[in-house]
Amino acid sequence: FQPKSLAGRRVLVTAGPTFEGMDPVRGITNHSSGKMGFAIARAAREAGAEVTLVAGPVSLPTPRGVARIDVTTGRQMLAACEAEALRAHVFIATAAVADWRPAESAAQKIKKDGSGEPPVLRFAENPDILHTLARSERARSGALFCVGFAAESHDLLAHAQAKRARKGVPLLVGNIGPAAFGRDDNQLLLVDEGGHRELPRASKLSLARQLVNDIARRLPAASLV
């Protein structure tokens, strides 16, 4: 009998884009499909974990056995993650959180005022969810293992290494985005303190299963949890 690699672990995953409103009908978002994060949530569940998936606005079915929390904005995603992370053992941040949100959201739809002058949008910086959780007491004590993602268009290894250091996470997973957005396949580069390892092109579900098993091997022995 081979015990499942994440049995007894609680895993928190973010997925999809965020939507940051500027009035009741408009806002800014991005092309993240959520497919990689949903595949990771499914793979973690298959590996025996108790999984919570915090999802931005996407229309994907919830993987079987996964608890899903739907959010819209980056700030809502942070709040949900901070609450869930208190009991999680692994946090995997795949969501493409908007870096900036409109500084104010108008209560009513912004109308053309006839002057020919377009409105000027001011932005405020969104919280960095991964960085926030990676700095938390639970992560620093080793009880919460944080994994980041990086979507880069070039120089993937150098950018992924720099991002790993900047975010303060033990494992950073690079992929070639935005080419990966919406596709069913991907290829990943796992970057840790000691070096890097490539997971060659495969379906997102196959890569998710490989990643989950890799993460499981990095966790402290279950008796310490």
Query: Measuring CA to CA, how many Å separate 207 from each of 111, 126, 190?
Result: 46, 29, 11
- Sites for ligand C5P among residues 69-98 (CB under 6 A): 74, 93-95, 97
Specify the 3-state DSSP secondary structure of 207.
Answer: helix
Structure tokens at 184: 């069913």
Question: CA 182 to CA 178: how far, in whole Å?
Answer: 9
Residues 146-175 that bind ligand C5P (CB under 6 A): 148-150, 163
Size of the site for ligand C5P (CB under 6 A): 15
Q: Is 111 annotated as a binding residue?
A: no
SS3 124: strand
Q: Which stretch binds ligand C5P (CB under 6 A): 110-118, 128-136, 187-195, 209-217?
A: 128-136
- Binding mask 12-51 toward ligand C5P (x if CB under 6 A, else -) reads --x-------------------------------------
Q: Please tell me whether residue 191 binds ligand C5P under the rule CB under 6 A.
A: no
Among 51, 80, 129, 180, binds ligand C5P (CB under 6 A): 129
CB contact at 8 A, 22 and 106: yes
Task: Using only the alpha carbons of the chain, give its radius of gyration.
Answer: 18
Q: Do 174 and 161 form a contact (C-beta atoms < 8 A)?
A: no
Max CA-CA distance within the chain?
73
Binding residues: 99, 109, 127-130, 149, 163, 167
- Contact residues toward ligand C5P (CB under 6 A) are 14, 74, 93-95, 97, 126-130, 148-150, 163
Binding residues for CTP: 99, 109, 127-130, 149, 163, 167
